[in-house]
Every structure is written in C-alpha cells, then in structure tokens.
Amino acid sequence: MRYLHTMLRVRNLDRALAFYRDALGLVEVRRSERPQGRYTLVFLCAPGDEALVKACPSGRGAPLVELTYNWDEEAYGEDRYFGHLAYEVDDIYATCEHLMKHGVVINRPPRDGQMAFVRSPDLHSIELLQKGEARPPQEPWASMPNTGHW
C-alpha cells in the first residue's frame, strides 16, 4: 500500500489556490474540469516532490493534495473529523513569516522551533514540521499565543 493523495473540498477555488499554491508553496501538477459533474479537480504536490510526479506518467508518483471544487454551492460546515495535512519545511520560522505576509493566521505558532499549525480558507488544518532538529526558540514565536483553534 502507498499513500496517493488527500481530497479536500473547497468553497472557492481561487482562494484555496491563493493559500495552497501562492502562500504555502505547493505546485499545481494536474487540473481536470468536469462539466458533466459540475466540478473541478486540482492536484498539487510539495515542491520537493515534483520529480516524483514527472517520473510517473499515471500521476501517482508522489503524495498529492486534491482540491475538489463543486460548482454548485454546498455547505460543508467545520466538522473536525478531518485531522490535518502535514508538511516538513526547511525553516519553520521563515515559512511562518512567509505565510503571515500572505495574510495567513498562525493558529499554533512554532514556539518550540519544531511545529506550527495554520488553517486554509476552508478551515482545513495544516501542520508544519521543522525538517531535522528543532530550531532554537526565538521571538516573536516563543511568546506568541495560540489564535483560534487548529
């Protein structure tokens, strides 16, 4: 068994892409418009996984996030049965600073130099984990409180 992708329903595809692609830095690798079903699928990978995607013609070479946008509005609510997506990052502090510049709230700041949580515009939780050893605690992160829930 091999992990392939996680499907997330999104309410506004442009807002979702501004978060996942522009702020978080994921790369769009495939898009499928389905007029008969009235939905759009967008598949994204982490930048470090692009070579894996290209190496497999079926599109199943790397773990992907599938954004599903239903053209007709549906109410998804904020159910917490979905846990979170997790991504390893080279510099937890630089990543959080970059996200904040894109207007993303850091719900659980990386006070420990190891872990942070943010939420997408559709309220999906995203865990960010420092690659390798934790970074030494530093301000403003060390004293930053949690915001909302994650």
The residues that are catalytic are: 127
Q: Within 13 Å and on the Cβ side, how many CA atoms surround 103?
A: 7
CA–CA gap between residue 66 and residue 44 (Å, rounded): 6
Which residues are CB-contacts of 9 (< 8 A; sequence separation ≥ 6)? 68, 69, 70, 74, 76, 122
